[in-house]
Amino acid sequence: MSDRRALLPDWVVPVCPENVVLDNHAVIVAGERIEAILPADQLEQKAPDVPIQRLAGCALIPGLINVHAHSAMALMRGLADDLPLMRWLEDHIWPAEQRWVGTEFVRDGSELAMAEMLAGGTTCFNDSYFFPDVTAATAAQVGMRAVVGLPVISLPTAWASTEDEYFSRGLEVHQALLSEPLVSTAFAPHAPYTVSDQAFERIRELAEEMDVPVHLHLLEAAGEIEGSKQRYGKHPLDRLDALGLLNNRLIAVHMTQLSESDMDRVARHGIHVAHCPASNLKLASGLCPVAGLDRRGVNVGIGTDGAASNNTLDMFAEMRLAALLAKGVSGDPEALPAARALSMATINPARALQLDDRVGSIEVGKQADLVAVRLDRLETWPVHHVLSQLVYACSRHQVETVWVAGQTVFDQGRLTHLDIDQLRAKAQEWQRRLKH
């Protein structure tokens, strides 16, 4: 039996090229790939035997890509709110992690996060957490695309006790995933203030050898620059530059403490920036100058951060917030228009993760990571401008159907590979444990 089918929405939003909406077009999917994009009135002539899945009232967009997440921390949603970053980390999050993080915690938390993300139209996420082998196995089982971070931190944790152990265990995970179609790896050193020079140098060498990104919290909050100067005698960017880390493999997360010259430097080195607007606002860490970075041609992607500091994994909400913040911070209402915000949630993260040859846009030959979004709802009527409705008015609850590599993973409120009742029971059990 053929696995070809034609998806026929009211609108196709390919993302590449940007700011384009195709009315009355069909997307033909063959197996896991996009075979053709053609006007609906040509279907009968060019694909007469292909079954048609009609998506009336829907826009078909590429799967959203969450460029920075700590998926297992979904179990810590609301555990410690309304606190500054370091108090939040040192007094609440790190103690809870020391007590509870292990394979069971990571599996259950990752399942919960993946369920939330898939139901909200996110088909791929870039994760930074312990036990990446567990996160990877969970993603493969659920049918979700993921880049799992190989953690490195100069502190003992449940995952590893020494820097050497972080590297040896990380390399084992990388090797085990080489043949996994949906899951790949990146190095995930925690932050400049928790990783040694020796570890950074080793990461640089291995990342080049393995051809993987480096996913790093950087310039997240006030005090990081002065702390680095006191400890290392250098600005964090100067230190990383001396260690060879400033290059187009680096995905720099948060980047709220940037001067004009810093932004020039980021652009010059081809660094990717992961922008997490809700988390930055909630922790009062600062505001990433997205408009200035975008103006310089820096590849900026949008991420949610973990649910412990957001408190959702809602990429539709994050897109809207990113666009509005860019306008408010820059004082320019034309900064970060809707089309660019959508790019920052799709093709830009794909580029940062070295996945743009496979996902991030609706193009012939790419993997069929697709999302049908209902725009025939009260809150998105009338549809004057599809892209504006998607970014400024649409809710994640308008997601109708989600495909990853051509496979349906969410359809009309139902997850195909996860049991909601089981997820709820596990979350309630962790709620009980984390209280003690």
Tell me the average confidence (pLDDT) per consecutive run of 10 residues in the chain, 436 residues long: 87 98 98 98 95 98 99 96 90 92 98 98 98 98 98 95 97 98 98 97 98 98 95 98 98 98 98 97 95 98 97 98 97 97 99 98 98 98 98 98 98 96 97 89
Q: How far apart are CA 13 and CA 387, in angstroms?
A: 8
Q: How many CB atoms lie within 10 A of CB 415?
A: 19
Say if CB 123 and CB 93 are below 8 A apart: no
Q: How many CB atoms lie within 10 A of CB 56?
A: 9
CA angle 66, 199, 156 (to 5 degrees): 80
In the chain, list all ranges with CATH 3.20.20.140.
64-352
Q: How far apart are CA 183 and CA 124, in angstroms?
A: 9
> What are the φ and ψ backbone dihedral angles of 280, each rounded to 5 degrees?
-60, -40
Q: How far apart are CA 223 and CA 235, in angstroms?
A: 11
Strands (E), 246-351: 250-254, 272-275, 300-302
Q: What is the pLDDT of residue 1?
A: 37
CA angle 253, 324, 124 (to 5 degrees): 45
Q: How far apart are CA 269 and CA 247, in angstroms?
A: 5
Helix (H) or strand (E) holding 70: none
Helix (H) or strand (E) holding 149: strand 145-152
Q: What is the dihedral of CA 205, 209, 212, 218, to 10 degrees?
A: 10
In the chain, list all ranges with CATH 2.30.40.10.
4-62+368-405
Q: How many CB atoms lie within 10 A of CB 356?
A: 20
3-class secondary structure, 406: coil
Architecture of the domain defined by 4-62+368-405: Roll (2.30)
CA atoms within a 13 Å half-sphere pointing along the CA-CB vector of 370:
32
Architecture of the domain defined by 64-352: Alpha-Beta Barrel (3.20)
